[in-house]
Amino acid sequence: MEVLIFLLFILVLSIFLGFEIISKVPSLLHTPLMSGSNAISGITVLGSMIAAGLSENDETPAILGGIAVCFAMINVVGGYFVTDRMLNMFKKKDK
């Protein structure tokens, strides 16, 4: 029970810390940070694929790994769309 409370504390602390850090990032730095975030999500995709593949007799890790792959891929694809859209804002317009 103490481990669960400790993990919930870490989760809540990381949510507040992440919100405070992200809210103070200037818009000029948003695109490079988004690209780094996409790389981290790519690592999450690989890890969740490994977790889903290692389940031998139990279906629960395979199901949770599949859900993790789905959510991580949504994050990767959405992040690249946002990054591409922001980079298009900085391109010169043809007259």
**Could you report the per-residue pLDDT of 15-69, keeping only the tens digit for each?**
999 888 878 877 777 667 777 777 787 888 888 888 788 777 788 888 888 888 8
pTM given for the model: 0.58
pLDDT at 75 over 80: yes
- The model's confidence at residue 90, banded by pLDDT at 50, 70 and 90, is confident
Q: What is the 3-state secondary structure (H, E, C) of 25-75?
A: CCHHHHHHHHHHHHHHHHHHHHHHHHHHHCCCCCHHHHHHHHHHHHHHHHH
Structure-token match 């409370």, residue found:
5
Question: CA–CA separation, 26 vs 86, rounded Å?
Answer: 13
Which range of 32-36, 68-72, 76-80 scores highest in mean pLDDT? It is 68-72
Nearest to 54 by CA among 71, 41, 66: 66
